[in-house]
Amino acid sequence: MRSWRRGAQQLSEELARRAIEAVKAALPYVVAGPPLIHRGPAGELHVDVPLMYHGFALDRIHCDPVAKTPSPKGRPAHVYGVEVRREEVVEVMQRVVRELRVVEAAEFRDPEDAWMVPLAWRLYIVAHVKVSYEGSELVPDYGLTEEVRRYVA
Amino acid sequence: MELLIREKLLALYIALLILDPGLLRRSPWLLKPDTLCSLATLFIASRAAELSGLFSRVSVTIVRRFSEMPFMLYAMVILSAGLTAMLITNDAALFIYLPLVASIERVWAVDLLPLYVMTTIGVNVHSALTPIGNPQNLFLWQHYALGFTEFVVGLAPFTDVATALLLIYALALATRVERCSKPPPPLPVRVNRVLAASSVAMLVALVTLTHLSVS
């Protein structure tokens, strides 16, 4: 819809580069938020950790509480009969966040009018950061931000 | 038990009920629905504005511009909070500016406890200038049938002196602000426009209706 409003403005590699640079500049300010521990109907647990940028959640990283590593995006680890220690998850994820790197490529999502820049931990893509069309602002995940605030409160 | 420890006012209420069992019967008449509704609206509007990213956006701009001049930052927040209070009452102004200070603190990564205190004092000092600045003034304004200008001129010397003292104190406190080693954040977050517009509309509606109901 926004693209239609922009008329002739096109996507370019320069815009993608700007979005990637924006995420690189913001990455030092990204911290791991409080772990969100979800319990499924069969008693399974899965743990997500939000990536917070000045109080706003950008995306969630799935955390495998048994392996004590993040899971690739799109495949949350479901565990049964394991007691998840919140402090341990925080400790693991703080280390993971320090090791995150920005992937030098971006996809563009037209309906959201935003670039999606992947964040990688080792060989896994673990999260995406959404950046505005012109690369001037980060687009938080407002739904996740609300969830984090509800959860913490 | 945990609930009572957390909710101290509830614990106090139960203690009062033990001392005065008749209080339970009188309690519904002690509640002020209008005030509760106004406060609930203020809470919702303030929370929505904060969650929309509006405060974060403003904070990034303020910190980028004034991080090297803490006094200017203090003065700007205190005076703009005061100006707002003159128009929309002290309580409503606090619901806007305290979350803003919290947001500035998060963006700047420095301890801004003095600014919270100064903003609260500033809002109350400046709200004293106008008849619509706080409920007490509204009452006095109506009771003595004063004109708007007459009221403002009468109170101006007191608020001027208080403002001067406040700014001198702010200058003293601002010189002690520790400089943050980290530069201000490079990018703001995108404002959720629908949420921001709804919160502003809610606040405007509340203030307008409050003024209409008392005038």
Kindly report, residue by residue over B148-193, the tens digit of the pLDDT.
889 899 999 999 999 999 999 988 888 877 665 566 677 889 999 9
Nearest CA in chain B to A28: B185
Phi, psi at A40, each rounded to 5°: -85, 175
Q: In this predicted structure, what is the pLDDT of residue B91?
A: 86
Span B141-154, average pLDDT: 86
DSSP 3-state of A49: strand
User: Which residue shows structure tokens 């037209």?
Assistant: A110
Q: What is the pTM of this model?
A: 0.76
Give the DSSP H/E element, type plus range, for residue B148.
helix B148-174
State the nearest Cα–Cα gap between A67 and chain B, in angstroms: 33
CB contact under 8 A, A145 and B106: no
Q: Mutate which of A31, A54, A117, A130 to test chain B, going by most B C-beta atoms within 10 A? A: A54
pLDDT for position A1? 45
Report the share of chain B in percent with pLDDT over 70: 95
What is the spatial distance between Cα A61 and Cα A32, in angstroms, rounded to a whole number? 9
Q: What is the mean pLDDT of each run of 10 residues along chain A (153 residues)?
A: 54 94 93 92 91 93 92 91 88 94 96 95 97 94 91 60
pLDDT confidence band for B5 (50 / 70 / 90):
confident
**Does residue B4 register a pLDDT over 80?**
no
CB hemisphere CA count around B118 (13 angstroms): 26
**For position B145, what pLDDT does the model report?**
82
The complex scores an ipTM of 0.81
Residue in B182, B186, B189 nearest the CB of A140 = B189
Q: Which among B107, B187, B195 is the nearest to A25, CB-wise?
A: B187
**What DSSP character marks residue A138?**
B
Model confidence pLDDT, tens digit, residues B54-78: 888 888 888 888 888 889 989 999 9
